[in-house]
Amino acid sequence: MPSSVYMEELDAFTYRAAIAEGAPIIIPVGSIEQHGPHLPLNTDVVLSKAMGARLAGAIGGLVAAPIVYGYKSQQRSGGGNHLGGTTSLDAATLISIARTLTLEFARHGAHRLVFLNGHFENYQFLYEGAEQATAELSLHGQDVSAILLSYWDFVDEDTIEEIYCGSFPGWDVEHGGVLETSLMLHLYPELVRPDRVMDLPAAQLPRYDVLPVRAELTPESGCLSSAKAASEAAGRLLLERTSKALAEAVSTELALWLP
């Protein structure tokens, strides 16, 4: 049993032994993105990493060093890439990172990868990179499969109702809002400044994008919905239920792939 679930904390021999035993590799993917005045820029990184550690514990996997930067923040899901602090990759770069890492872990002998996404805008580019790499590996007869997911898709309806009491704004505008702030209050309270939460109405955004962005469409908080109702207890509940649902789904999928 490795001494840590975090790959980068292991020595190479222990890491290789875990891979040889079939440990799946979980790759957390985040962003460096403004999350209002109350949350740190690396919110998406630390949350996907924490979800990854729990998943690793449940499936006997390892958590790879995270992809720290993400694809450009979009106004309708992350406030927009014009905001200071937000530091993003272009699409080609993120595709290349996902593709390269898939090939690297395959070279180490890993067969099962999980991209655990924590930043809304990343998804399609991770998909493209993983698709290119797995297709290429399969042409060479290598059995490598990847699961891609965003963790909030594992929050069930009952939990949404319990936490939002009928006022769920939608995952796209859950940026710096109740979900992320509650999870951060539970996991990393020292990184949260609840006294700085700006309690503004949820963003009213058009059903289309405008480029260059019209900055005034983003609320001055940089958040797309208010974090006022966030709490440590909600964070604990969200983490417990989400990790459980995630572990169930991933183990079921992995079991289908057993030789």
> Choosing from 111, 174, 180, 186, which is the catalytic residue?
180
- What distance in Å separates the CA atoms of residue 199 and residue 215, rounded to the nearest whole number? 19
Do 211 and 116 meet the contact criterion of CB atoms below 8 Å apart?
no
- What distance in Å separates the CA atoms of residue 173 and residue 120, rounded to the nearest whole number? 10
* 44 vs 94, beta carbon nearer Zn ion: 44
Q: Does 174 bind Zn ion (CB under 5 A)?
A: no
Q: Give the residue at shortest CB distance from Zn ion.
A: 44
Query: What are the structure tokens assigned to 5, written together?
Result: 């679930």
- Type and span of the H or E element at 155: none
The residue from 52, 119, 230, 246 that contacts Mn ion (CB under 5 A) is 119
What number of chain residues touch Zn ion (CB under 5 A)?
A: 2
Is 119 tagged catalytic?
Answer: yes
Smallest gap, in angstroms, from Cβ of residue 139 to Mn ion?
Answer: 34
How many H helices and E strands in the chain? 8, 4
Smallest gap, in angstroms, from Cβ of residue 248 to Zn ion?
Answer: 24
b/e sequence 180-215, b meaning 16+ C-beta within 10 Å? bbbbbbbbbeeebeeeebbebebbebeeeeeeebee
The residue from 26, 44, 48, 129 that contacts Zn ion (CB under 5 A) is 44
For residue 39, the number of C-alpha atoms closer than 13 Å in the C-beta half-sphere is: 35
The residue from 5, 25, 44, 205 that contacts Mn ion (CB under 5 A) is 44
Smallest gap, in angstroms, from Cβ of residue 117 to Mn ion?
Answer: 10
Is 180 tagged catalytic?
Answer: yes
- What distance in Å separates the CA atoms of residue 243 and residue 237, rounded to the nearest whole number? 10
- Pairing verdict, β 145-150 and 62-63: unpaired
Is 209 tagged catalytic?
Answer: no
Smallest gap, in angstroms, from Cβ of residue 35 to Zn ion?
Answer: 6
Smallest gap, in angstroms, from Cβ of residue 174 to Zn ion?
Answer: 8
Residues that bind Mn ion in the complex, under the rule CB under 5 A:
31, 33, 44, 78, 119
Point out the residues that are catalytic: 33, 35, 44, 119, 121, 175, 180
**Binding site residues, Zn ion, CB under 5 A:** 43-44
